[in-house]
Amino acid sequence: MSATTQTDALVVEGLSGGYDRFDVVHDIAFRVGCGEAVALLGPNGAGKTTVLRAIMGLLRHRRGRIEIDGTDVVAAPPHRIARGLAAMVPEGRRLFVGQSVEDNLRLGGIRLRGDRARTEELLAGVFELFPVIERYRDREATALSGGEQQMVAIGRMMMADPALMLLDEPSLGLAPLAIADLSAALRRLREQDRSILLVEQRVDIALEVCDRIYVLSGGRIVDEGRASDMGAEGRALIDAYLG
């Protein structure tokens, strides 16, 4: 644990849940410290997205304890959790169709609609991190390239200024150059002391960006460790899990 972390951004204990009374994840426990970046790794179907959806409130059937920034949200609907606790980049980006880049970003910051100055400040922050999308601010968001769309999705999450940032497979489907840009952007967020939970298939990105990792398999956490401790042996172990 880093010395500067005083409280945890996220504490998950005894989390089980899934769809229609059929549990996908079982008795999950992990934490993300304030200002810490944590990766959730695992093979396809391990339950990574399910855990992320449970934290965001999108999973109807969930039990246990999910505490974001000191608030238990296991029974809260997503629009409550979105009020400053968590924001997310969903798998496949899912930008709002038929709306401009700027509108997508402003919708991300809709919880702050009373605070004009803060919204403009956050928007400036997004454009500073991703200068390319400022040029396209009036274009329809879904007309952009995959990498640019991913920047909009991350920007939309940043606009909420949340206590916890959730990212689901942001590298999926991106070209190598775009992945490099993405990786750099994530490191910048990390440097801004944001608390991040990243779900990734690409182990290299996860290790580059994150402080710690958890490995999920078959709906359970099977391993954890510090990214800096991951030697060749550790990577081999993770690769074995990822199949």
Partner 1 sequence: MLQVLLSGLTVGTIYGLVAMAFAIVFYVTKVINFATGQLLMVSILLVSGLVKLGLPDWLGIVTGLVAATVLGVATYFIAVRPVLRFDRFSFAWLVSTLGVAIVIQATFALIYGPASQPFPRGLHAIPVRLGPATLTVQEIVTLAVGLLAIVGWHLVRRYTLLGKLGKAISTDPEIASTVGANVTAFAVGAFAIGGFLAGLAGILVGPITYGNPYLGDTYGIFGFIALMIGGIQRPAAAMGGGLVLGVLSIAANTYIGAQASDWFPFVLVLLVLLLTPNGVFASGDQLRRLFRTRRAYQQGVNA
Q: For residue 164, state whether it binds partner 1 (rule: CB under 8 A).
A: no
Please, what is the minimum distance in Å from the beta carbon of residue 171 to partner 1? Answer: 19
The span of 21-29, 54-62, 212-220, 225-233 binding partner 1 (CB under 8 A) equals 54-62
Nearer to partner 1, 45 or 77 (CB): 77
Number of residues that bind partner 1 (CB under 8 A): 26
Task: Indicate the SS3 state at residue 149.
Answer: helix
The span of 5-13, 91-99, 175-183, 228-236 binding partner 1 (CB under 8 A) equals 91-99
Contact with partner 1 (CB under 8 A): which of 23, 27, 61, 107?
107
DSSP string, 73-139: -TT--HHHHTTTTEEEE-TT----TTSBHHHHHHHHTGGGTT-HHHHHHHHHHHHHH-HHHHHTTTS
* Angle formed at CA 89 by CA 165 and CA 125, multiple of 5 degrees: 65
The span of 35-43, 82-90, 171-179, 205-213 binding partner 1 (CB under 8 A) equals 82-90
Please, what is the minimum distance in Å from the beta carbon of residue 132 to partner 1? Answer: 22
Tokens of 80: 């409550």
The CA distances from residue 147 to 174, 179, 199, in Å, are 6, 8, 17
Q: For residue 79, state whether it binds partner 1 (rule: CB under 8 A).
A: yes
C-alpha to C-alpha distance for 103 and 64, rounded to whole angstroms: 36
Tokens of 93: 């980006």
Q: For residue 114, state whether it binds partner 1 (rule: CB under 8 A).
A: no
C-alpha to C-alpha distance for 224 and 200, rounded to whole angstroms: 15
- 71-72 β-sheet, strand order: 22-33, 8-19, 61-68, 71-72
Please, what is the minimum distance in Å from the beta carbon of residue 148 to partner 1? Answer: 18
Site string for partner 1, 180-219 (x = CB under 8 A): ----------------------------------------
C-alpha to C-alpha distance for 232 and 136, rounded to whole angstroms: 42
Binding site for partner 1 (CB under 8 A): 56-58, 77-79, 81-83, 87-88, 90, 94, 96-99, 103, 106-108, 110-111, 113, 156, 160
